[in-house]
Structure 1
């Protein structure tokens, strides 16, 4: 894999240019590959619960890790690192493949997959990473080094791992557990560069990027971008002050994300997200929602709850879906609409049916997101090559203004649409 002009990882070399029939069975977006429902049935059998949005699961929870400072070091409730650490501590796995900070001077990237084998190494991977990564190195390591492993990833990565396990007996045997992350979309590497532009920091001087700096005294959904520079100084800014700081608008989004219908890592053994509903979204300490799909991990979690090491409360499918309501609208309702104008030559097999049956304003919102995602890469590339950051930043602010007018009924355009459609919320 290598970087393209837009800061996204794309296939490089001979294999990317020749036909590879076997690859169609493991690419998570291939119409020839099994979908999430089929993968879950094959891996998990029949679960206690099934929901059209969440997939199969045994139990759902809201809460946080109560032991060991896991909550404090995580972006949310610390549950991802806690489960990974527990698997290592119990000897259920020998290593965990997850994303950790990388040295941009040595590796040319800020984050990369690594296999961690200790609690100390695991903690280096805590917090959110909105940055392109790829798994070839850790998969080769798993193939070459016997043992049992857990893999942490976003939905399409976990789906790819499950499809690959069906084709590769070594990975089938050695990958014991998959820990999935709820996902809105993948960003390009240029998102970090945009932070640097707006914080007046040369990207070559940036040594570390944090996308969600945690502050227990502020609501969890008040994101703060934080950069550490070569001289040890730091610069930061709240997302709402950034030209491209509205996550839902789709700045720097990978185009494939517009054709994904899995929000909650349906093929993972256990999956984690943020509890984006009150009172949890106002709790700056962070709170997770957890979907336990593998019964063995269910036993691990309930034992820890009984010991007071996890502070979790059981919830139903509707609660979990509500915490990710915006993601489901974009990936289900929005996807159904986007399928109506996808390229005719693009073969797609999705679990939603194409439909144009939407109010005008929602159609405009989805089209605006698509335009921002597509045009933003080009505008940023032009501004970058010309050495004119202001070109991108002015475009981004104008695009964000239009998007928020459509979405939140702000400004003259928003008020006009509100009168036209009776004030219905398009978000």
Structure 2
């Protein structure tokens, strides 16, 4: 049994590439699936009794989970705190990069890029592993190794696109120099790296700091193609995608998405909040593994960065960062920066309340649905819950259907000159979304007088 047989075939692979990067027989390589997702594929038959690919897969079932690993990493640090959702933490911060140009170019407030650049400038690590556009013809974004702060800033910004880390891990394992690294990745990749570091001492020695970004879900590459075509750039001409261009006319949450072709011609900027069907909310092109993730804040990372989705910050189009530190070193670095101050962890939780609902509440309903499949599904820290499923059944079933249907339909229309035929083919789903949204608004209106009465009568 290997990761292809168990995880990929059951559609739980997130495509992180850690398995292919650490396979001792070099028997796995990462490639595109027909769903527009990166998956490991076998080069040859596996060796008997080798299970390392499954041992480090973040969506396999393990004898230890994120809570166990986090406890071993952080529980004994002096003055450490704990929150049910954020995990262990020393301090929480809010702020932005003092250089306005770097702040605007970055995702949120630019503190993640500043942190990584500082690690190089202060010689805390030798190199940085992060996601950027490194000229790979087959992949718009990829993990790369950087050793200059300016290179770090050139990779600033979000990449809502599948990436995998196998090539980088192979380089680290093979190299003979005693170099140290910092990695920034999504929570699922962080989990896989922590598992791999326990199996491969060389990785544990070399990876000195792990940073994470908060994550709600990951779409496949078809989503990027749709965004490009909405922007007016054909798929076979697409060269670059700017997922989060900031505009003084918009709030931080209504960033622009702009595609660029091979001749450096830009398409029409598409405001995030005006895209058809609310792509993210209704899980168009979502990778199935994300339905079974319960880590919002990268609980196994030494430091976590996210957007300040709070009323007092979101109006500033330049963006503002929130940060959770879990080690004395990362906390020390944050304390030195201008335009950065501490913030209560409850504010951090509030800023990501929608993602928490998705990954800590709705996941219980999805797990309950999976108990009837008679197939393997990942066990999580939360348990299957029939009440959650019954309460959210319509949304859960609707989004599962959208997830599958959007991938299937896009294959037919991806090389068209526009997205019109794709959306026309989804008319039935569009009607269901409109009906569900209308019913949700009506229920909200019905609840408002009851909540107001309770508040006035002192019941809440």
Normalised TM-score (structure 2): 0.83
Given the alignment of the two structures, is residue 297 of structure 1 paired with residue 335 of structure 2, yes or no?
A: no
Alignment pair present for 1:10 and 2:39: yes
- RMSD of aligned C-alpha atoms? 2.6
- Give 1:69 shift: 4.2
Q: Which residue of 2 aligns with 1:179?
A: 211
| Partner Cα distance (2:278, 2:193) in 1 | 31
1:317 aligns with 2:345: yes
Counterpart position of 1:165: 197
Distance 2:401 2:241 in 1: 27
In structure 2, the residue matched to 1:330 is 358
The alpha-carbon deviation at position 358 of structure 1 amounts to 3.9
> 1:16-165 alignment to 2 at 5 Å?
20-32=50-62, 34-47=64-77, 48-67=80-99, 69-103=101-135, 107-145=137-175, 146=177, 147-165=179-197
Match of 1:392 in 2: 422
Paired positions, count: 414
1:70 Cα shift?
A: 3.2
- Write the distance in 2 (CA, Å) between the matches of 1:182 and 1:188: 18
Query: Contact 1:365/1:403 (CA < 8 Å) preserved in 2?
Result: no
Cα separation, 1, equivalents of 2:39 and 2:450: 40
Query: 1:285 maps to what in 2?
Result: 318
Identify unmatched segments of 5+ residues in structure 2: 1-29, 452-460
Q: Deviations over 1:80-130 (max 9, x none)?
A: 110100000011111101010143xx5211101100100121112100000
CA distance, structure 2, for counterparts of residue 356 and residue 299 of structure 1: 45
Name the SS for the 2:96 alignment partner. strand
1:141 Cα offset (Å) = 1.7
Offset of residue 394 of structure 1: 2.4
**Which residue of 1 is the match for residue 309 of structure 2?**
276
Q: Check the 8 A contact 1:244/1:396 in 2, yes or no.
A: no
1: CA distance between counterparts of 2:414 and 2:46? 28
Q: Deviations over 1:258-286 (max 9, x none)?
A: 00000111100100111111111111010
Gaps of 5+ in 1: none
In 2: Cα distance, 1:276 partner to 1:16 partner: 48
Match of 2:257 in 1: 225
> Which digits, 9 at most, give the CA deviation of each residue in 1:155-199, with x for residues without a partner?
001111111111111101000001100001111111111023223
Match of 1:354 in 2: 384
Quote the Cα distance in structure 2 between the aligned partners of 1:23 and 1:358.
33
SS at match of 1:65: coil
- Please give the per-residue CA displacement for 1:192-247, whole angstroms capped at 9, x wherever unaligned: 11023223321121211011111244200002110112222211211333325432
Q: Output the CA distance in 2 between the equivalents of 1:347 and 1:228.
A: 39
Give SS of 1:271's match.
strand
SS in 2 for 1:152: strand
| Shift of residue 359, structure 1, vs aligned partner | 8.6
**TM-score, structure 1 normalization:** 0.90
8 Å contact kept, 2:369–2:389 = no
Indicate the residue corresponding to 2:19 in structure 1: none
Residue 234 of structure 2 contacts residue 417 of structure 2 at CA under 8 Å; is this kept in 1?
no
Relative distance call for 1:424 and 1:243 in structure 2 (3 A) is farther
State whether residues 243 and 396 of structure 1, in contact with CA within 8 Å, keep that contact through their aligned partners in structure 2. Answer: no
| CA distance in 1 between partners of 2:206 and 2:274 (Å) | 45
Q: Distance in 2 between matches of 1:56 and 1:96?
A: 24
- Evaluate the alpha carbon distance shift between residue 185 and residue 359 of structure 1 in structure 2; reply closer, same or farther with a 3 A threshold: closer
Distance 1:206 1:122 in 2: 24
Shift of 1:405: 4.6
2:236 counterpart residue number: 204
